[in-house]
């Protein structure tokens, strides 16, 4: 009985952490994309992404390198037409 509670709780935690990470990456991609579109900065998007990368990495550590932020932007562009992003992940 206790084993089952522990196993189920771990599954729930893993699922919800993954969902939160997907939402976070989607939202970061959205912000980067909107900034680039709003100011028509497509020619300097690498500069914007580099600046975000440096600030986020300094403040939060690994995981926010340029390649990851570009992937988040691409993820947003790919999934933005879906109503509820995390549900595709299930």
Q: What residue spans define the domains of the chain?
A: 16-80
pLDDT of residue 85: 54
| pTM of structure | 0.75
The residues near 44 (Cβ < 8 Å, ≥ 6 apart) are none
Per-residue pLDDT of the chain (90 residues; tens, 9 = 90+): 888 988 989 888 888 888 898 999 999 999 999 888 877 766 678 888 899 999 999 999 999 999 999 999 999 999 887 755 555 444
The residue behind tokens 């935690």 is 13
How do the residues of the chain divide into helix, strand and coil, expressed in percent and rounded to 5? 85, 0, 15
Q: What is the mean pLDDT of the chain?
A: 85
Q: Cα separation of 47 and 52, whole Å?
A: 9
Q: Cα separation of 22 and 16, whole Å?
A: 10
């Amino acid at each position: 009985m206790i084993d089952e509670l522990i196993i189920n709780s771990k599954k729930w935690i893993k699922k919800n952490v993954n969902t939160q990470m997907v939402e976070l990456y989607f939202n970061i991609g959205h912000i980067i994309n909107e900034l680039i579109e709003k100011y028509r900065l497509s020619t300097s998007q690498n500069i914007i992404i580099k600046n975000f990368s440096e600030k986020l990495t300094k403040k939060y550590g690994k995981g926010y390198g340029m390649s990851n932020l570009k992937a988040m932007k691409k993820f947003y562009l790919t999934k933005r037409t879906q109503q509820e992003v995390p549900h595709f992940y299930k």
